[in-house]
Amino acid sequence: MSSVKIFSASGTEYLASKIAHSYGKSLGDVVLQRFSDGEISTHFNESVRGCDVFIIQSTCPPADNLLELLLLIDAAKRASASTVTVLLPYFGYARQDRKDKPRVGIGAKLIANLLTASGATRVVTCELHADQIQGFFDIPVVHLQSSPIFVPYIESLGLENLTFASPDVGGAKRARSYAKHFKADIVMCDKHRERANEVASMQVIGDVEGKDVILIDDLVDTAGTLCNAAEIIMERGAKSVRAICTHGVLSGPAYDRVAASCLEELVVTDTLPVENREKINILSVAELFAKAIRKIQDHESISSLFI
C-alpha cells in the first residue's frame, strides 16, 4: 500500500493542519522560497517517491497561491509520487464558467487545464459555483457538499417556521435541496446586476410573512446581494433572517455590511481564512476533507459524505 503524505501551500496552512490532524497525520515538510524579484520556488524536504501525495491549497487571492499550487504539483510528479491529489477547499475563478458576453475568457476551464497539465491525478473540492465545472476536468473530481456541516447546525437552531431562500435564481437548486431535506418552503430573490459585485435591483418571489428565513449560497463576496436580500425579506414581514454560505470570500466592505445588516448571523466555513468578526460564525470543513482522503485511500464510495 502506498504511503499517504499531506502537504500544504502557504495560503491554507491553517486548514491543512486541521485536515491532517483529523486524518491522523502531521503535515509534510515543504519549502516555499522566493527570489528577490518575487519568483516562487518550491521543493519537498522529504521523499515522496511512490507515495500518494495530497496537496491542500485554496485558489484564493493573490494569484501567487495558484502558482504555488501548480509548482508543488509539478514537484511531486517529478519526485516520482505515485498519485498527486489536489484538495481545493475553495476553487477560485469558478464564477467564470461560461461566456456571458463577447470576448471574455472562461477562467474555470483555464484553471482546470493548468491543474491537469501540471500533473494532478485527482481533484477534491467543495461546493463549486456551478456543478458543470466538474466536466471541465479530464481527471476525476470529487465534489463535496457542505450540507453535512450545515444541516446539523440548522437542526440545532430549533427554528419553527423554517423557510429557505436563494439570493438569486442561479442558486435555486442549492436552496431547494435544503428545503426538501427539512420539508420546508422556498422563496427566491430575483436580482439584476449592472456590473460585477453591484446589484441594481432585487425583488422577493414567495411568502416570508412570520417565517424564520435562511439564505443559502455557495459564497459571499462583498455581501451586497446577501444584505440587500435580507433587508427586503425582513421588510416583507419575516420573523428572522440568517445566511449560510460555504465560502467566505468577504472582500471590500463585506464585514462592515454584515455587521450593519439585519442578518441574525452569517455562517461560513473555513475553506478561506475568515476573520472572527461580529455576526460571523465559522464552521470547519477539516473533518469532511479528512474523511474524503480516507475513503479515497480505502477505495470506498464517497456517497456517505452527502446528505
Q: Residue 138 and residue 143: Cα distance in Å, rounded? A: 14
Q: For residue 193, say whether it is annotated as part of any ligand binding site.
A: yes
Q: For residue 225, say whether it is annotated as part of any ligand binding site.
A: yes
Q: For residue 192, say whether it is annotated as part of any ligand binding site.
A: no
Strand bridging mode 280-283 / 266-269: parallel
Q: Residue 208 and residue 196: Cα distance in Å, rounded? A: 28
Q: For residue 224, say whether it is annotated as part of any ligand binding site.
A: yes
Q: For residue 223, say whether it is annotated as part of any ligand binding site.
A: yes
Strand bridging mode 40-44 / 30-34: antiparallel
**Ordered strands of the 141-144 beta sheet:** 4-8, 52-56, 83-88, 122-126, 141-144
- Of 5, 18, 191, 211, the catalytic one is 191
Q: For residue 185, say whether it is annotated as part of any ligand binding site.
A: no
Q: For residue 97, say whether it is annotated as part of any ligand binding site.
A: no
| 285: three-class secondary structure by DSSP | coil
For the chain, report the end-to-end CA distance as a whole number of angstroms: 31
| β partners of residue 164 | 186, 214
DSSP for 25-36, written as a single string: -PPP-EEEEE-T
Q: For residue 129, say whether it is annotated as part of any ligand binding site.
A: yes
191 is catalytic: yes
- What residue numbers does the annotated binding site cover? 37-39, 95-96, 129, 168, 193, 217, 221-225
Catalytic residues: 191
Residues forming the annotated binding site for Mg(2+)? 129, 168
Binding site residue list for D-ribose 5-phosphate: 193, 217, 221-225
Task: Please state the residue numbers annotated as binding site for ATP.
Answer: 37-39, 95-96
